[in-house]
Structure 1
Amino acid sequence: MPYVEVSMPVNAGREAIYPILKEMDKYPDFMADLVSVEVIERTDNTTVTKWVSNVDGRVIRWTERDIFDDANFHIAYKQIDGDLKRFEGEWILTPMGGGATEIKLTVDFEFGIPMIAGLLNPILKKKVKTNSENMLKAIKDRLEKP
């Protein structure tokens, strides 16, 4: 089962980054691959969000539950319905000193079709990694560019 982990240093504190990560419905405003993110349920520390992504002309849809740990600036997410058999991960914010923070995004997924998984998983893993890197760069640019 493919696992992707990407990280990037950002010249901003966790207090500035975390609110941007929590506003998932705003991601399409600055992330090119996302068509839409809709919040369909919200409680104090969770949301259920419906996502539509366009990766190289392929539309991928899923609904996920997002769990927010505000005290630790941490978000865990897990698909509850969608195109993949499994899709889950987390956002981790780690202080680096000098006011900078490392943003780490993990994605653990399973395509769900065993006969073609060996062929598609490496391709999909590369696409997920590129898409995740693009997400981190978009957040970095949003925080660091005037």
Structure 2
Amino acid sequence: MPFVECTIEIEAPAASVYELAKEQERFPEFMPDVESVTVVSRHPDRIVTRWKTLVEDAPIEWTEEDRFDDAALRIDYALIEGDLDTFEGAWTFEQDGATTRVVLGVTYDFGVPTLAELIGPTLQKKVRENSEMMLAALKREAEARPQYRGGITDGPAVGAR
């Protein structure tokens, strides 16, 4: 199955970026291709959400379960049902000095072998672009808000205009 991994550096504490990533129902506020994220159920160590996204103006919908490992700053997610056969992976958050390295990995399968043969490289490119877009949006949000930057308020937020 295809696998994509993307990494970004964010100028904010790892614990703060991790907490922001756990607020998935807020993703549509700052991620343009995410139309909606509806919380189906929430528990201290996991959440079930229903997603509606656009990839190249094509709607893709699914329900996933995310498991939170607060000690390791890790989110593991897996498809429950939806427009894909397989969609699973992890977010990891690692403090490196004043920055956080966020790695988003995803294993996916659209479940149509003929489609995969014909446009597999295009699908992989789109999954990568979408993952990079999510990470860039997370970076913008984390760096623009003092509460995610560890309360640093002695100047404008990084990236603020």
TM-score (norm 1): 0.96
Q: In structure 1, what is the Cα distance between the partners aligned to 2:35 and 2:141?
A: 18
Whether 1:114 aligns to 2:116 is no
Match of 2:42 in 1: 42
Whether 1:57 aligns to 2:46 is no
Q: In structure 1, what is the Cα distance between the partners aligned to 2:120 and 2:81?
A: 19
Aligned AA (1:103)? V
Deviations 1:56-78 (A, max 9, x none): 11000000010000111100000
Higher strand proportion (structure 1 or 2)? 1
Q: In structure 1, what is the Cα distance between the partners aligned to 2:142 and 2:43?
A: 27
TM-score (norm 2): 0.87
**Preserved contact between residue 111 and residue 121 of structure 1 (Cα < 8 Å):** no
Q: In structure 2, what is the Cα distance between the partners aligned to 1:13 and 1:93?
A: 9
Match of 1:75 in 2: 75
Q: What is the Cα-based RMSD across aligned positions, in Å? A: 0.9
**Preserved contact between residue 5 and residue 106 of structure 1 (Cα < 8 Å):** yes
Q: In structure 2, what is the Cα distance between the partners aligned to 1:115 and 1:15?
A: 42
For the pair shown, the structure with the greater C-alpha radius of gyration is 2
1:39 Cα offset (Å): 0.5
Q: In structure 2, what is the Cα distance between the partners aligned to 1:117 and 1:139?
A: 29
**Preserved contact between residue 91 and residue 105 of structure 2 (Cα < 8 Å):** yes
SS, match of residue 143 in structure 1: helix
Residues 17-36 of structure 1 aligned to structure 2 (within 5 Å): 17-36=17-36
Match of 1:123 in 2: 122
SS, match of residue 6 in structure 1: strand
Worse overlay, 132-141 or 75-84:
132-141
1:115 Cα offset (Å): 2.2
What 5-or-longer segments of structure 2 have no aligned partner? 145-156
What 5-or-longer segments of structure 1 have no aligned partner? none
Q: In structure 2, what is the Cα distance between the partners aligned to 1:120 and 1:46?
A: 34
